[in-house]
Amino acid sequence: MTSDNHRESQQLSPFPGASPDIAGEAVAWLSWLAAERRCSPHTMEAYSRDLRQFTAFLQDHLGSPASSESFLALLPSDVRAYMACRRGDGVGGRTILRSLAALRSFARHLERLGKGKAAPFSAVRSPKLPRTLPKPLTAASAVQATSVAARAGDPREHWVLARDAAVLSLLYGAGLRISEALGVTRAGAPVGQIDSLTVIGKGRKTRSVPIIPSVRQAIEDYLTACPYPLPGDGPLFLGAKGGPLSPRIVQLAVVQLRSALGLPDSATPHALRHSFASHLLARGGDLRSIQELLGHASLSTTQIYTAVDSGRLLSGWSAAHPRATRGPSPGAASKIK
């Protein structure tokens, strides 16, 4: 192959900087993730992008396209050089952590095929992330955000306002992720006497969540107002032109609510899911049950809400206790179990 032809093939390849064998194995790896691991389309897209960026880096770093052999012959210092390069580009720790997870997964794929050992990727320490707590809304603010009445003065059509209220009611009233709420079909809508909803969550895992009457009523109000036909196997929530509702539209609707209701910048669709968990825990909800309702794979993920609740306890103590002349010490919240 001439140098011009090689450059052209690199430009056309979905993995620039990779030799044909790496590009082929990358496609097989992504297919395996989709079929066996049931990764979401968002994860697949992110992992594919991570590998493209790494192979492009390797071509500059090694001076030639990366092959299976050179990929697994990398040293931990090579992987750390890539991480340093990404940090230099202003990429955050969470993105680098996800990239490292993608590269480890691909290296293990090559190892399963007998092409070598994935040791260099396992030897690199993952970047530490700052521990940030969820920022739930107050109960009053969360209820307002799910009310059509709170949208008074909004120039959009009534059915659109009813739709937004129904979507946000599912996030706060059932703890759904926005993708889960928008994935509900018309046939699966919890209306009438149906008081539960089967949700398809991360990894295509299903769970059943109870639906309280106020959420069912919000969905019924939307269905009554919606001007478009809703086939049973089609999406429950539609956009203004009749197509599937985009998550971005829901996010923009919450931005408008922040201004109208005086909500903090932390008020997002996902904050309503945080509010669902935090408010349940504050009222005596069982942590294991909350885990199941949220669809968390690990209890440790759900336990972060105990720290939020502890912070509220300390704030109340600081404001009300007669001996609380000073605020609680910075590490006090972590000591409350």
Question: How far is the CA of 166 from the CAs of 187, 191, 259, 273, 325, in angstroms?
Answer: 16, 12, 20, 14, 45
In the 3-class helix/strand/coil scheme, how is the chain assigned residue by residue?
Answer: CCHHHHHHHHHHCCCCCECHHHHHHHHHHHHHHHHCCCCCHHHHHHHHHHHHHHHHHHHHHHCCCECHHHHHCCCHHHHHHHHHHHHHCCCCHHHHHHHHHHHHHHHHHHHHCCCCCCHHHHCCCCCCCCCCCCCCCCHHHHHHHCCCHHHCCCCCCHHHHHHHHHHHHHHHHHCCCHHHHHCCECCCCCCCCCCEEEEECHHHCEEEEECCHHHHHHHHHHHHHCCCCCCCCCECCECCCCCECCHHHHHHHHHHHHHHHCCCCCCCHHHHHHHHHHHHHHCCCCHHHHHHHHCCCCHHHHCHHHHHHHHHHHHHHHHHCCCCCCCCCCCHHHHCC
d(CA 216, CA 202): 24
Which residues are known catalytic residues? 177, 202, 270, 273, 296, 305
Beta partners for residue 206, in sequence order? 200
